[in-house]
């Protein structure tokens, strides 16, 4: 049985979403997004930095959301939510799968720190503004690639779980402006999927 170690409002939502899309049974260890849970000795034994998600699969324990997604697809859902290596869509799939952590999540992380996690007296408006500008620039190629498409490579794939999660967060942070109608509709389209809605509500 798969066990997902999970906290809300984190990248662990990606794994919850994926498991629900694939209709794979799993146990959920739900923790609060708070040091008392994430930095506990018990959880640090799962992840040395006290982060989520962590997935247990029998004797296997793995963290990092992208690695977990690839592991689940390879071990538990071969041929699903991922184009074949010789498919014309495979290069784009790889690109957008990794674009979220390479380009979109770094400024999101800074924005969350500067607007939510830090107390007001420690926030830096200059750092926040820079992160907001970087995020806006990072979202432009996503807006462009979604022109005329429902999903990143046409059909729904695990790339949408990875980058789509970041796009939903971007919209909630106010980074999806009126010049990004494709991205705005995309985020709404993803949240209309029952598995995605459940993951974000968990």
Residue ranges per structural domain of the chain: 2-76, 90-193
- The C-alpha atoms of residue 171 and residue 181 are separated, in whole angstroms, by 11
Q: Band of the pLDDT at 192, cuts 50, 70, 90? A: very high
User: Which pLDDT tens digit goes with each residue over 64-83?
Assistant: 999 999 999 999 999 999 99
- Whole-model pTM? 0.96
Please choose, from the candidates 109, 3, 13, 1, the residue with its C-alpha nearest in 3D space to the C-alpha of residue 46.
Answer: 3
- What percent of the chain clears pLDDT 90, i.e. is strictly above it? 99
Looking only at Cα atoms, what is the longest distance across the chain?
Answer: 53
User: Which pLDDT tens digit goes with each residue over 90-114?
Assistant: 999 999 999 999 999 999 999 999 9
In the three-class reduction of DSSP (H, G, I as helix; E, B as strand; rest coil), residue 26 is classed as strand
User: Which pLDDT tens digit goes with each residue over 115-157?
Assistant: 999 999 999 999 999 999 999 999 999 999 999 999 999 999 9
The CATH number of domain 90-193 is 3.20.20.210: no
- The C-alpha atoms of residue 44 and residue 109 are separated, in whole angstroms, by 21
Q: Band of the pLDDT at 194, cuts 50, 70, 90? A: very high
The CATH number of domain 2-76 is 2.160.20.80: no
Average pLDDT, the chain: 97
């Amino acid at each position: 049985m798969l066990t997902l170690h999970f906290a809300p409002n984190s990248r662990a939502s990606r794994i919850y979403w994926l498991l629900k899309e694939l209709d794979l049974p799993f146990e959920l260890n739900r923790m609060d997004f708070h040091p008392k849970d994430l930095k506990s000795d018990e959880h640090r034994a799962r992840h040395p930095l006290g982060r989520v998600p962590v997935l247990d699969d029998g004797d296997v324990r793995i963290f990092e959301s992208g690695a977990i997604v690839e592991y689940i697809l390879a071990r538990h859902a071969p041929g699903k939510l991922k184009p074949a290596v010789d498919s014309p869509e495979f290069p784009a799939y790889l690109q957008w799968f990794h674009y979220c952590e390479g380009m979109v999540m770094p400024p999101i992380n800074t924005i969350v720190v500067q607007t939510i996690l830090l107390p007001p007296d420690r926030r830096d408006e200059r750092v926040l503004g820079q992160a907001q500008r970087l995020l806006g620039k990072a979202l432009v190629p996503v807006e462009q690639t979604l022109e005329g498409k429902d999903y990143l490579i046409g059909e729904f794939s695990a790339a949408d779980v990875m980058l789509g999660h970041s796009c939903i967060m971007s919209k909630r942070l106010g980074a999806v402006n009126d010049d990004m109608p494709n991205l705005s509709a995309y985020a709404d389209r993803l949240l209309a999927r029952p598995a995605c809605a459940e993951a974000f509500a968990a």
